[in-house]
A and B are shown apart, each in its own frame.
Chain A
């Protein structure tokens, strides 16, 4: 039995950029780079992709002030810190939504399939974690790839989700290597969020 309750979450608020992406917030000279600005060096293995999108609130309005974090396996399905993981790939990205367009964008590599603890594999996916003013506890979701039909059909997490809602997790290929996915916090297209 655990003895201690987890510390409570509180909203990241509207000024999250000061602490998490100070260079983006105009506080230059503190840190060389904002954390998570680069996920892969030129030497990283695997197919280069971008993942971009926007976030909408329950009124259908674009959210401009969110911060999005990405966490994913490398091209071989290994996470940073595991034996054999690609040393040229951090797996961690952090992107503030653009103040004008609301867009977030990650330059990364296509992740490989990840082991499922009860046996078998999970389809390639990227975990996203979204914080902003009005979000009391960080929103955890996953992005799968719409062009991975076979792997997606066998994915044990997607299998738990009704088909119409699973579509909210599928990034659509655009031009070569570019994927897009919009996130809806409420409404008929509300994105599936997880408590894992």
Chain B
């Protein structure tokens, strides 16, 4: 087979950094089909996904830089209302660390978040809940992790809301997260829940995850150490993205 220079450069790069991504552990994730979540019935592939070791197509990923972000992108309290007017509802700080499966920080990860307002209403054409819109709340924000993998944004506590599934299903309060790591193999969309919410364990979307501990890792604890006194409560949500196998080079360095 012909080897071209770009491949040599890529291999050299990999030798110094990391090998293929660890296979995704299906047990950490919801099943594609979870019949109590009605929409999954016709939208879940029936065949087992095909696996192969990651290649440059999965090990590379979109490159985003800090200049993408505007000054209010991580402040959902103020990024929508006119003249800097604040959104209605309990003010909270959501923060945490993005790491890989080896505990190494993922720097420069782009997090996009969206949520309902404090009354449980989304600003979306398809939304039909009777709770009112807040003229000062869009429900959309984004932030990038720093060199230690840390992120933080401000918002309001989202409300629970009813949804058409069973006869009387309510989503627990949650914030949706879209996460880009370094490689497209790490691409993840998830939801963060709030400590103590009795709706979490009744939710068919949460229930699609079999592993109770995997659900518990989606529940952000109240974090009194990081509140803003007389201003905002804080919740901490750490995120783990897939890791790349250690290379021989690294093993030698660490092990011998």
Task: Give the B-binding residues of A (Cβ under 8 A).
Answer: 2-20, 22, 25-27, 30-31, 35-36, 57-59, 61, 63, 65, 69, 71-73, 76-84, 90-92, 99, 114-122, 125, 127, 129, 131-140, 142, 156-157, 160-161, 165, 185-186, 190-196
Contacts and interface: CB of A to CB of B under 8 A. Distances in A.
Interface in B173-193: 176, 178, 184-185, 187-191
A84 B42 contact: no
B92 interface: no
A135 B209 CA distance: 13
Contacts of A161: 50
A2 B4 CA distance: 33
B218 A196 contact: no
9 contacts: A5-B25, A6-B240, A9-B189, A79-B57, A115-B6, A136-B205, A137-B30, A142-B57, A194-B51
B55 interface: yes
A127 B39 contact: no
A107 B130 CA distance: 39
A26 B176 contact: no
A139 B43 CA distance: 10
Contact of A7 (B10, B43, B63, B241): B241
A57 B42 contact: yes
B113 interface: yes
B30 A18 contact: no
Interface in B1-45: 1, 3-4, 6-7, 9-11, 13-14, 20-26, 28-32, 34, 37-45
B146 interface: no
A181 B155 CA distance: 40
Question: Chain B: interface secondary structure?
Answer: loop
B231 to A, nearest CB: 23
B120 to A, nearest CB: 12
Interface residues of B, number: 96
A120 B50 CA distance: 20
Contacts of A137: 29-30, 32
Contacts of A11: 30, 37, 39-40, 189, 191, 205, 208
A193 B218 CA distance: 26
Given A8-B190, A10-B30, A84-B6, A2 B102 contact: yes
Contact of A80 (B62, B190, B205): B62
Given A6-B28, A71-B61, A27 B123 contact: yes
Contact of B44 (A7, A8, A35, A134): A134
Nearest to B82: A29
A82 B56 contact: yes
A117 B61 CA distance: 17
B45 A193 contact: yes
A19 B140 contact: yes
A162 to B, nearest CB: 10
Given A16-B178, A135-B40, 5 more contacts: A2-B101, A2-B243, A15-B114, A19-B113, A35-B112
B9 A83 contact: yes
B51 A26 contact: no
B43 A194 contact: no
